Structure 1
Amino acid sequence: MSRSLWLAGGLAFVFTLLANLPAAWVLGSIAWPSGWQAEAPGGTLWKGRLRRLGPLGPLAWQVSPWRGHLQVEGAFQQQAWTLRASGWPWNWQARLSPGAAAVGAAGDYLIDGRWQGELRLAGQGGRCLHAEGQLQASQVAMLTPWNLALGDVRVTPSCAAGLQLLAHIQRAGEHRIEARLELASHRLRLDGQVQADAALLPPLAQAGWVKPGSTVLAAQLRLR
């Protein structure tokens, strides 16, 4: 057998192996942070599913590396979400949009709201260069660990100092809060004003985010 035939056979074997690479084998070899272990992965690396990944799940994905296309569908906070990304690492675009109501993975916090809109991002490598769009929902409520009405919420993305999500949370006559989530540093900053008779004040004071006798919210949290 000629060298070219051996080479062609070897390449065919490698491509077949890569095309059928089990998702369980790949995800099981990753050192996930505590609480983020991939549960019940199935399928292949290119088209697979898993029951849960941290607060996300169930999740399903399709990857077409030769076309530079990725689609992930999953549930988060009682709603289905779809992430679509295209392009190559040096020039990519991504869109995140909500879908129908869905039963997602249980977590320490559970927020209920019917979201609408879309977030659109573009970047190069690990850098976010452009962000636009917004997500909005009315009558948003926290169900766990407290049962509280949050009101109207609007979320916008920003690339000004790394990828960030900015949330404006307001309920007339009760509170007005600005939340800034810095994804790269895993930090969440909360600032706002809470009325003295607002239902949200006692849990915020209990958490130490509002000082005794004050109605000013100021907190910075490190998320893990």
Structure 2
Amino acid sequence: MEQEESRSEVNEPITGYLPTGQAGGSYNYADYLSWEMDEMVELIKGKIFRQAAAAPRRIHQKISGKVFNKLFNFLEHHPCEVYEAPFDVRLPVKSKRNEDIETVVQPDICVICDKSKLDELGCVGAPDLIIEILSPGSNKKELKNKYEVYEESGVGEYWIIHPDEQTVITYTLVKGKYVPSKLFTSGDVLDSKTITGFQLDLEYVFRDLE
């Protein structure tokens, strides 16, 4: 039962939990900056979502490290830059004013090629590539809530890695809508559609995880 409750807390907006801002629970980035909390949270369309009930699992972190390392080395002499969580990505709709931004996420890994989107607080605007690694209880948030805001905000490419199943599905933005790939698994090599020349060998990613 405790595991089920933990999953619900991650997947669903936090209710009855109002740090600051409007009573009723619609928040913006200005509110987010004022909070002093021990846990990591994200804002998705004004609603607060817990990142997780605890630190990410070891396998999650091992996969994240492998993928980040490959991207970092590939981009060392490249205009694009790669960042890993915790790293705030603000996705504005109305304007870039803190009070108008209602979505602030912390992707596991993201690549930004337009350096004008980078500031001391993170990224404001859609990254070119976002990679999320599923954790127990996070599936709905990654597969539905984040999928929607990434598509609406113009994130060019979105990869979802499933550690338990050792699979990856990618989404490429075409005329404002995501087009899904086939399901990739160990032995496949992914070719990024937005980071020209970058390939990821999934046999390397999923090797020696136990």
- TM-score of the aligned structures, taking structure 1 as reference length: 0.25
Greater fraction strand: 1
Higher RCO, Cα 8 Å, sep 6+: 2
Q: Which has the larger radius of gyration?
A: 1
Q: Which has the higher helix share?
A: 2
Q: Normalization by structure 2: what TM-score?
A: 0.26
